[in-house]
Amino acid sequence: MAGWQAPATASPVFSPSDWNAALEKVIHADVTQSVTLPNGDVLWVFGDTTRINGVPTTGPYGYPHDAFARQTAGTLTFKALPGPYGYGWQQVPNWSDNTYFWMSTPIVDSGTLYVLGERIQGVSPFTVVGSYVAVFNASTLAFQRIVPVPTGATGKTKWGGVARTATGWWITGTHGVPCSYGTNCSVGDMAFVPFGGLATTTQWGVHNNVIPATTNIGTTMALRRTPAGWDIFTKRGGAYGGTEIERLTANSVTGAWTVNGTWPAPSPADTVTYDVAVHPEQVANTGQILTSYNVNGNDTEYHPRFLYLSL
């Protein structure tokens, strides 16, 4: 029949074990987040990277600290993308003082890819020097520049999650505080940035101390808009604070946030879990969202774990 076309086939819902195996074959890294590119593919960004395609990326002085992988939309086909810096895989050059960029949150705004992260001194132990945004062409992924961004009232805010609104972006951040009732206690901050303003410091509107330390949030908070308000998913207490992911809910993004559900975040012996991210661009069953958290402890276990969380 003239003009006939086969019906479109819906993308399958892959199991968590399928996700784990597919990404593990391509890259061992942490600080895992993802974003849809202008052509429909999905870009995955990572921090410290120890293996690509099964081969160690380490050299005599370290390893790449920020890496990309491209996913063909609707599949489990991943391809690690070579970079012009850091052992052939790093996407952002180190500074002249040997500090380096540790990627966190990718955002595509019009034709530009922005990646939030931290400037880091040292490896183990390391020190966070400041928060920055790296700027890329969203189509070619060519690196353009890197600039500092606001870091809240304490100067220590680490930005980690993002949600789009009609006029711009809400971004979650945390900074550590002393406390007597937990481990690695953090307080949550929020920032609103209008479209086109992510690389302009004066465009950032920061709201300090929005989420109290009593909620036991981790270093990274994954943010999403819901019909009733807002959700945050985070690893309780950070890397050394337990083995659970928790959800916080609020009617308004700037307060009042309360804990509303937990899920186990298991890992092998002698490893720690941290840095929860949500991946709403991926197909999931109704009422669920694909979520990842990072595992660290040795090279074999150095890659994200996936699960579906109920909304």
Q: Work out the number of other CB atoms within 10 angstroms of the CB of residue 285.
A: 10
| Residue 222 near residue 292, CB atoms below 8 Å | no
**pLDDT of the residue at 299:** 64
In the prediction, which pLDDT does 297 show?
Answer: 78
Tell me how far apart the terminal alpha carbons of the chain are, to the nearest angstrom.
44
The Cα 257–Cα 161 span in angstroms is 15
What is the pairing mode between strands 78-81 and 100-109?
unpaired
* Burial class (CB within 10 angstroms; exposed 0-12, middle 13-18, buried 19+) of 164: middle
Q: In what order do the strands lie in the sheet with 49-52?
A: 27-29, 49-52, 55-56
Query: Which position has the token pair 């879990």?
Result: 273
- The single-letter code of the amino acid at 148 is P
List, for residues 204-229, the tens digit of each pLDDT value.
999 999 999 999 999 999 999 999 89
The amino acid present at 268, given as its one-letter code, is P
Contact between residue 47 and residue 106 where contact means Cβ atoms under 8 Å apart: no
Q: What is the pLDDT of residue 280?
A: 95
Phi, psi of 164 (to 5 degrees): -85, 145
pLDDT below 50 — which residues of the chain?
Answer: 1-8
pLDDT at 270: 83
What the block records as the tokens of 90 is: 């790093």
Q: How many residues does the chain have?
A: 311
262-282 burial, b for 16+ CB within 10 Å, e for fewer? Answer: ebebebeeebbbbbbbbbeeb
What CA–CA distance (Å, rounded) separates 283 from 34?
13
pLDDT for res 178:
86
288: its two tokens: 């669920």
Tell how strand 186-194 and strand 168-176 pair up.
antiparallel
User: What percent of the chain stands above pLDDT 70?
Assistant: 93
Output the pLDDT for position 92.
Answer: 97
Question: What is the rounded CA–CA span in Å between residue 265 and residue 16?
Answer: 13
Instruction: Give the CA count within 13 Å in the CB-facing half-sphere of 261.
Output: 11
CA dihedral 292, 295, 299, 303 (to 10 degrees): 0
Per-residue model confidence as pLDDT tens digits over 96-145: 999 999 999 999 999 999 999 999 998 778 889 999 999 999 999 999 99
The predicted structure's pLDDT at residue 1: 41
Percent of the chain residues past pLDDT 90, beyond the cut: 74
DSSP summary character for residue 94:
P
